[in-house]
Structure formats: structure tokens, C-alpha cells
């Protein structure tokens, strides 16, 4: 993955309008809403829609789903006005294609929980279906949101050929190292910016986004 001129920033697990407003003012590119009942950051479609309706232009709403039936995902996409769907379970290529047919206006991201077992082949089968990948931390029995970083050196062997977002335990302490080492298209933060599940810390949000933009500025300065 190579660093673009502007690293895309997504903050996920949003449940409160004031947290989203803080992220928007700070310069976030996308905010994520988790439609998975088992998540401590789960939100209802109605509550998400009330927040999404207030988003300004060019800030994307991302719906996160885990092994949800394609028809139900498409229904929530239409009800909430989602721009992206992030599939975070064991969705097959066939189910992804079905979703593309049912919700053609929505762009699709496929999440992979990266560990020593992850191979380029299991990612490649989604190449012609999705617009990008999200790389999260593998932990047995957990769909995501572990708050832990994975071994970023594993990424090089995955043969990624789509824009990819780095997730998994990103916070103020490791974002600089993550950007320098991985050079991702985008980053996705969640628990590392919280006071508790679904309750974002506004100071951490602002400092996280500032850190990403500072990294970009430094990269550009080095190129000039």
C-alpha cells in the first residue's frame, strides 16, 4: 500500500451525534455505524439515520455488518442513506455479489481479520466485487473491535491490489508508527478514541486526526 497525498480517516462505532459532529469539524472523511446486535457499539437504523441526515457533503456514512442477510443490509442502506457497506464477517463472494445487485448505489468494503493464517488467495477472490479492503486484527471468536493491533509485517504478503484501510487498535500512541510502516490508503479508529464503548473522547478524536494530517504534511515536505 502506498500513501496517497491525503490519508482517508474513518472513525467507527459512532452512537452519538455530538461525537460525529466533533469528528466532522476535526476533518474526518467517514464515520461508521455498527448494525450488529452483539457489538457493544451497536446502533439501530433509526438512530443512525437521525445522525446521518445531519452529515455535511463529502463525509461518508459507512454501515458495518456481520454475516447479515443481503436483503436486510440493502434495506438498511436505503433507509439510512449509507454510502458504503463494510462486511466484517465471513461473507462469501456470492453473498457480496448479491448485495451489489440489491444495493447498486452503495460501495462495498470487505474486512479481513489478519493473522499468520491469512493468505493472499482468500482476499483475491473478492477483487472484482469490492471497492476496497479493511484490515483488522484476528482474534478467535471476535468479529472485530478487539482494540489490539496486529503484526503489520504480515500485510506485505497479502498482494493487496485495492485501496485498503488499516484498523485494529489504532490510537494516539501508535498511529504515527502505523502510517510510517504500512503507508495505508486510509485508517479506521474506534476503541482507541473512546472513554467507553460507543462514547468517543473528543480530545482524542481531534488529536488523532491532527496526527494523521501532520504525517501527510511531513511526507509532502520531504517530497519537495
What is the model's pLDDT at position 198? Answer: 95
Q: How many domains does the chain have?
A: 1
Domain membership flag for residue 129: yes
User: Per the residue annotation, which of 12, 22, 96, 106 is the catalytic one?
Assistant: 12
CA atoms of 2 and 5, how far apart (whole Å) = 10
Read off the pLDDT of residues 67-117 as tens digits, 9 standing for 90 and up: 999 999 999 999 999 999 999 999 999 999 999 999 999 999 999 999 999
136 is catalytic: yes
Domain membership flag for residue 76: yes
Q: What percent of the chain has pLDDT over 90?
A: 88
Domain membership flag for residue 136: yes
Q: Check residues 56 and 149 and name the one with the higher pLDDT.
A: 56
Domain membership flag for residue 61: yes
Domain membership flag for residue 1: no
User: Per the residue annotation, which of 22, 96, 106, 136 is the catalytic one?
Assistant: 136
Domain membership flag for residue 3: no
Domain containing 213 — which CATH number? 3.20.20.70
* Helices (H), ranges, 53-134: 70-80, 93-102, 120-124
12 is catalytic: yes
Give the range of the structural domain holding residue 200, as residue numbers without chain letter.
Answer: 8-223
Q: Are the CB atoms for 163 and 207 separated by under 8 Å?
A: no
Domain membership flag for residue 193: yes
- If pLDDT is split at 50, 70 and 90, which confidence band does 3 have? very low
Domain membership flag for residue 150: yes
What is the model's pLDDT at position 152? Answer: 94
Read off the pLDDT of residues 142-198 as tens digits, 9 standing for 90 and up: 555 556 789 999 999 999 999 999 999 999 999 999 999 999 999 999 999 999 999
Amino acid at each position: 500500500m502506498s500513501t496517497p497525498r491525503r490519508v482517508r480517516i474513518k472513525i467507527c462505532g459512532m452512537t452519538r451525534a455530538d461525537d460525529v459532529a466533533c469528528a466532522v469539524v476535526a476533518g474526518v472523511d467517514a464515520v461508521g455505524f455498527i448494525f450488529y446486535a452483539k457489538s457493544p457499539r451497536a446502533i439501530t437504523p433509526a438512530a443512525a439515520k437521525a445522525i446521518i441526515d445531519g452529515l455535511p457533503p463529502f463525509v461518508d456514512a459507512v454501515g458495518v455488518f456481520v454475516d447479515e442477510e443481503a436483503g436486510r443490509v440493502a434495506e438498511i442502506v436505503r433507509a439510512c442513506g449509507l454510502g458504503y457497506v463494510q462486511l466484517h464477517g465471513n461473507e462469501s463472494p456470492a453473498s457480496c455479489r448479491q448485495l451489489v445487485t440489491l444495493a447498486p448505489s452503495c460501495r462495498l468494503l470487505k474486512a479481513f481479520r489478519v493473522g499468520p493464517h491469512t493468505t493472499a488467495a482468500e482476499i483475491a477472490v473478492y477483487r472484482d466485487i469490492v471497492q476496497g479492503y479493511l484490515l483488522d486484527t484476528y482474534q478467535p471468536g471476535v468479529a472485530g473491535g478487539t482494540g489490539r493491533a496486529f503484526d503489520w509485517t504480515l500485510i506485505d504478503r497479502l498482494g493487496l491490489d485495492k485501496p485498503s484501510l488499516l484498523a485494529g487498535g489504532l490510537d494516539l500512541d501508535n498511529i504515527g508508527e502505523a502510517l510510517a510502516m504500512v503507508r495505508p490508503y486510509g485508517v479506521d479508529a474506534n476503541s482507541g478514541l473512546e472513554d467507553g464503548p460507543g462514547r468517543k473522547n473528543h480530545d482524542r478524536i481531534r488529536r488523532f486526526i491532527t496526527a494523521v494530517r501532520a504525517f501527510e504534511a511531513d511526507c509532502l515536505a520531504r517530497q519537495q
